[in-house]
Structure 1
Amino acid sequence: MRIGLTGATGFIGSHLALLAHGQGHQIVAYSRGKKAPPVADEQQMQPKQAPHALPQTRLDALVHLAGESLMGLWTAEKRDRIWKSRVDFTEALVAHLGTWEEKNRPKVLVCASGAGFYGNSGAAPVDESSPRGEGFLADVCAGWEKAAHRAEALGMRVITLRTSMVLGRDGGAFPLLRRVFGWGLGGRLGSGQQWMSWIHLHDAVRIILKAITTESVSGPVNLCAPEAVTNAEFTQKLAAALKRPAFFHAPAFALRLLLRGMADEMLLGGQRAIPRAAMEMGHEFEHPDLSSALTRLV
């Protein structure tokens, strides 16, 4: 297949390109001036806010992973950038794909989303059939997915990736967590009872590629491991893998004071997500439990 990748130089995109190339697929990398992954067969410029400038080329699938980082203070300006880079950009991207010649238009659109779709779901397990939750992230994910599904009117199969925390050595949250815990400064956040869904990078990219190549797969796919854990359990297992203490505790009121709305939705709330779609498509997890995943990473 000829697979286009927005966000091709990012943490997940670069590893997905490597896996897909290794399985014999051609990669068209879209990036904002950064050097494309060395396995890319072609590189195109990825416009920041002008998807109509995305050059037309023949694609079998398009994987859309680009978007404003969620990290940082959620000021009004930051929220606006998050919304525009995800929802508005995807709406414009799908409209632009509608102008492509049918022979060139991808048959599959894979669009990033997030487990934040479910809001703070507490201890109740959630799978792809569960309703959306409440909060800014739930609104963004719902809008993002709605924008992506407009491609169905163009005859495209649409997959939305409800991504949990992706653990890898060279990107995402893990390098920072490793440094903090390595210094002996790790600890639980708030009560520690909030659920955390996660997935090892190797499983994440394999699920994405399998979803692309499996014609029966469409709609939401929870990108998470079968074993969700509480924040307290995650803290304990990471400290054990690093052989470091984790005595520090970040009180909820302090996190809310420092980080405002971001704290409640990203640190003090969470989801106990289940990868039903991934298991139904036959994915066998390389890292199904957190202890083995962390041991491998460190």
Structure 2
Amino acid sequence: MKSAVIAGASGFIGAYFRAGFAAEGWQVRTVGRNDATADAVWGDTPAITELLDGADVLINLAGKSVSCRYTPENKAEIVRSRTETTAELGRAIAACATPPRDWFNASTGTIYRDARDRPQDEDDGELGSGFSVEVARGWEETLAAADVPATRKIPLRMTIVMGPGGGVMRPFNNLARLGLGGRMGDGGQKYSWIHVQDLFRAVLFLHERREITGAVNIAAPEAVTNAELMAGVRRVNRAPFGVPTPAWLLKMGAVLIRTETELVLKSRWVRPGKLEDAGFTWQHPELEGALADIAGRRNAQDGTVYSQ
């Protein structure tokens, strides 16, 4: 039986991965903050080493959510929660007699610059600047510094992950139902995304293809504009209209809901070059179908009936 260790398994993506690996017949063990729910806790490096010894795959998703105000305290915790956990995993793997074959470490497509002129891929993408980019660089540099020669290390430069269990869809759906699901800013900023099912499938795909190395962009092949995204969200929520939100109003509202406007105003145009070149096929390559699938699963869970 293959085995996977998931660090940071309590969130939306982690819960999906736990269920996904179990459905594939893998043994799944977890690293987290709470010893009542995780098999090993941060700070207990020997226990983490014991979990990792002989495992096939490590998936690290740990890190404080970036959907918050960037106060000095929050910024420090965003960085710390990523770099310190990644460094500890490196130390744990180094102590393994039989280290994991693969280490997939979360990163972000936000590492690239604000791009409206062309998509950014792994070969010629241009890194950006600012706090979010610094976080991503530090995260990937910590992974690169881990001395684990027997383990392949792949930063997963994930775009916005969408799914029925949470993630970005919840606030977007709520905005649409309130009649506020119009374009944000000028609506022209690009929005690269990935259905959580395809994120999981991409990890399995990469695990089987040893020839792929280095950072991998995790995105659907279709990028849309913010205006197109919100139009799709309105359709699946049957919202007849959505009030546009100009940038100045977003900045005011972000203070009230304690988040940052960069999360919706930055143009994230990411091309999944390595996945495309390796022949990966997406279950949800287009936004319209992905949104319909998410809405259908959501409504099935709460007992309502969905029809397109």
User: TM over 0.5, yes or no?
Assistant: yes
TM-score by length of 1: 0.89
* Aligned 1:1-298 pairs, distance under 5 A: 1-33=2-34, 43-47=38-42, 50=43, 52=45, 54-57=47-50, 58=53, 59-98=55-94, 100-103=95-98, 105-129=99-123, 130-151=125-146, 153-259=148-254, 263-298=260-295
> Alpha-carbon deviation of 1:46?
2.6
Q: Secondary structure at the match of 1:120?
A: coil
Shift of 1:56: 2.2
Greater strand content = 1
Task: Quote the Cα distance in structure 1 between the aligned partners of 2:31 and 2:208.
Answer: 20
Identical amino acids, percent of aligned pairs? 30
Aligned residue identity for 1:95:
R
User: Which residue identity is paired with 1:76?
Assistant: P
Instruction: Indicate conservation of the 8 Å contact 2:184/2:226, yes or no.
Output: yes
What is the one-letter code of the residue matched to 2:90? V
Q: CA RMSD in A?
A: 2.1
CA distance, structure 1, for counterparts of residue 155 and residue 241 of structure 2? 36
Gaps of 5+ in 1: 37-42
**Structure 1 position 21, deviation (Å):** 2.3
Distance in 2, Cα, partners of 1:75 & 1:212: 38
Give the distance between the partners of 1:106 and 1:247, measured in 2 at CA. Answer: 48
TM-score (normalizing by structure 2): 0.86
Contact residue 198 and residue 224 of structure 1 kept, 8 A: yes
CA deviation map 1:135-181 (0-9, x unaligned): 11111111111111223553320111111111111110112221221
Give the count of matched residue pairs: 288
Alignment check: 8 A CA contact 1:119 1:135 kept: no
Q: CA 1:135/1:122 → structure 2, altered by over 3 Å: closer, same or farther?
A: farther
Q: Unaligned regions of 5+ residues in structure 2, if any?
A: 296-308
SS of residue matched to 1:188: coil
